[in-house]
Structure 1
Amino acid sequence: MSMNIGLDMMGGDLAPLEAVKGVQLYLKEVTNPATLWLVGDESKIRPLLQEYAIPEGAVRVVHSSQVIGMHEHPTKALKEKQQSSIAIGFHLLATGKMDAFISAGNTGAMLVGALYSLKPIDGIQRPTISTVIPKENGKTGVLLDVGLNSDCKAENLNQFATLGSLYAQHILGIGEPRVGLLNIGEEEGKGNILAQAAYPLLKENSHIHFIGNIEGRDLLLDKADVTVCEGFTGNVILKLAESLFDITRQHKTESEYFDRFDAEYYGGTPLLGVTKPVIIGHGISRSKSFLNMVKLAQKMLETDLLGKMKESFLS
């Protein structure tokens, strides 16, 4: 299966250098690499490709003359900067030239670009973004939504549970992922209006293995593999987890466990619920992040994760 994975070479604080170094790592490490489409300013990219000895046949360079800055208004920037690396990347993705697209650039522009140029999977009301949660026993879980949908309806959480479950199964290799609803108590009937309304829907969802409510203290323990919440709460948890990593570094605390809170370790987060793989990286992504994002895109394509998501929402 030949795969074409697009990489925004201008996205992120350390682009394009770290993106090129990530491409080099990927081509060294992966035995059956995809063809990488590198979208960005050719005059900046080509000298780096030579410097890092990237073989010409392994990549295709697509020139873009504009860059969307990290703090630009997403919709306005996409409209006004048609020649930006993000706009060109989504055009190539939407027209089928590329099978997946990755950027560590302006998150808002990536989300707006994905929602405008790709359709949500039939039946999905709102796409979502997730994060992986390192468990203290060495396992890994998924938390979603982590910031795309600050306010949600109960049905949104129910759909996130199905998407997160498929992701945990096919990408993290968890056989029958346990799904928990993040709440302020374990008993059914606890929580705010959203949690109370979501509980019965999750209980009846035949696509998932729902285990009930889980509390904040359970998140880092091996209680659930997939935890659902609305994006406001999820984003607070995500930022708190990132700060734990920073604090352990500042205090020079050696901990194999807290090392797994490093955003580099995972690369980026996929936008789940749209028809093609779109992966959004951290603004400070380094080479290892770019490597991991390309590997994630490849795994999503190889496992046909999006095909399996489509099937789940047909019934």
Structure 2
Amino acid sequence: MKIGLDIMGGDFAPKATVLGAIEACKALSGDQKLVLIGDKEIAVSILHENNFSSDHFEFVHTTEVIGMAEHPTKAVVQKPNSSISLGFQLLKNNEIQAFSSAGNTGAMLVGSMFSVKTIPGVSRPAMTTIVPKLKGGVGILLDVGANADCKAENLFQFGVLGSLFAQCVYNIKDPRVALVNIGEEEEKGNILYQATYPLMKETNLFNFIGNVEGRDFFNESADVYVADGFTGNVALKMAESFYVLGLKLKIKDAFFDRFNYEQYGGSPILGVNAPVVVGHGISSPEAIKNMVLLSRDMVESDLVNKIKNAFQ
């Protein structure tokens, strides 16, 4: 297995990404190899500074980068030699089996859809995040930003994607899928959510348990929480603030520590033909390491093929 890592993406790249690659390399098995995509000369210098041999990695050299503020579609087209564009070329050609980056999120979404493309039957890919549970374990929230405006069909498919992700990567048996709404009653919500509820209620593709509210994210009400990308992203950013607020208020609590984004690495893009993970722009070495390990887990679980089978 070869896992591609964009070492030029992120606010603290390439140092943070290369240091994260070192830690990830230590956790990978002998038949798993990291391919570092970016400025090889700088990467090797950082490796030598940390007494870590460059022989542990393969390199694809480039100095071109898609900046965080660049227009995603234009940048992908106009910068074919950027680290993100090269990563997707390698992924498309199966020279790597997974690709991750803490760079421009929009470029990662566009690159996914232009190169490896959406799985037939999937109307829109979705991005996920982890929701820590008060009693231990995790839940899955999607979409968290790829699709601000959705149709009922999209939310229904997010239920399929989230359920398979929870089963395959987090080993949650028969995950309970819920629709994030403004009330638990079946008739609650706007037109979108009222149209989605009956689709989910009638399916046998996942274990739908009905509506949940925002206060249910961290309890045992469900395992997979389905929302449009606007709602999901607001929830994600609010949850991320818990950890930061705890640090500022000097509150030491094991549960709030689990809101630290570094533990989860990144957000998978589900519904495309290869494992792709997008990291936080402020990713630290720890976050980069966990992003790589999540990419590995997605490959090992054969998640993409299981999604393909579900949408046949």
TM category (shorter chain) comes to over 0.9
Match of 1:68 in 2: 66
CA separation in 2, counterparts of 1:45 and 1:155? Answer: 44
1:8 to 1, 6, 13: 6
TM (normalized to structure 2)? 0.97
**1:27 and 2:17 are equivalent in the alignment:** no
Output the CA distance in 1 between the equivalents of 2:208 and 2:73: 37
Separation in 2, partners of 1:18, 1:302: 26
Distance 1:213 1:161 in 2: 12
Instruction: State the Cα deviation string for residues 234-274 of structure 1 (Å, max 9, x = none).
Output: 01101111111111110011011111111101010100000
Match of 1:128 in 2: 126
2:195 maps to 1:201: no
Deviations 1:49-84 (A, max 9, x none): 222333344311111121111111111222222211
Aligned residue among 181, 184, 187 for 2:182: 184
Paired residues of 1:20 and 1:52 also in contact (CA < 8 A):
no
Query: Is the Cα–Cα contact under 8 Å of residues 25 and 34 in structure 2 kept in the other structure?
Result: no
Rounded Cα–Cα distance in structure 1 between residues aligned with 2:199 and 2:17: 42
Question: Per-residue deviation at 1:90?
Answer: 0.8
CA contact (8 A) 1:11 1:103 kept: yes
Correspondence for 1:162 among 160, 163, 178? 160
Q: Secondary structure at the match of 1:179?
A: strand
Match of 2:216 in 1: 218
Unaligned runs of 5+ in 2: none
Q: Is the 8 A contact 2:99 2:276 kept in 1?
A: yes
Match of 1:249 in 2: 247
The CA deviation string for residues 124-154 of structure 1, in whole angstroms up to 9 with x for no partner, is: 0000001110111112000111111011111
Q: Mapping of 1:137-176 within 5 angstroms? A: 137-176=135-174
Conservation of the 8 A alpha-carbon contact between 2:44 and 2:54: no
Select which of 88, 99, 111 maps to 2:97.
Answer: 99
Is the contact made by 1:99 and 1:276 (CA closer than 8 Å) also made in structure 2?
yes
Output one character per residue of 1:90-130: Cα deviation in whole Å (capped at 9) or x when no partner: 11111111111110011111111111111111100000001
Q: Distance in 1 between matches of 2:52 and 2:80?
A: 28
CA distance in 2, matches of 1:223, 1:104: 31
53 and 205 in structure 1: CA distance in 2 versus 1, 3 angstrom threshold: farther
In the other structure, the counterpart of 2:271 is 273
Q: Secondary structure at the match of 1:292?
A: helix
Match of 1:240 in 2: 238
| CA distance in structure 2 between the aligned counterparts of 1:297 and 1:227, rounded to whole angstroms | 22
Aligned-residue offset at 1:224: 0.2
> Partner amino acid for 2:208?
F
8 Å contact 2:99–2:277 — kept in the other structure? yes
CA–CA distance in structure 2, aligned partners of residues 98 and 195 of structure 1: 39
Q: Which runs of 4+ in 1 moved over 4 A?
A: none
Structure 1 vs Structure 2: percent identity of aligned residues? 52
Measured against aligned partners, the alpha-carbon deviations of 1:6-63 in whole angstroms (never above 9, x if no partner) come to: 0001000111111111121122233345111100012211111222333344311111
2:170 match: secondary structure? coil
Deviation larger for 27-36 or 140-149: 27-36
CA root-mean-square deviation = 1.1
Unaligned runs of 5+ in 1: none
Query: What is the rounded CA distance, in whole Å, between the counterparts of 2:20 and 2:117 in structure 1?
Result: 29
Quick one: which amino acid aligns to residue 127 of structure 2? I
**Paired residue for 2:110?**
112
Structure 2 counterpart SS, 1:171: helix
Shift in alpha-carbon separation, 1:33–1:265, aligned structure 2, 3 A: farther
Between the aligned partners of 2:32 and 2:76, the Cα distance in structure 1 is 27
How many pairs align? 312
Q: CA deviation at 1:85?
A: 0.5
Kept after mapping to 2: 8 A contact 1:158/1:205:
no
Determine the structure 2 residue equivalent to 1:231.
229
Q: Distance in 2 between matches of 1:128 and 1:32?
A: 32
Q: Measure, in 1, the Cα distance between the counterparts of 2:33 and 2:51.
A: 16
SS at match of 2:219: coil
CA distance in 2, matches of 1:264, 1:57: 27
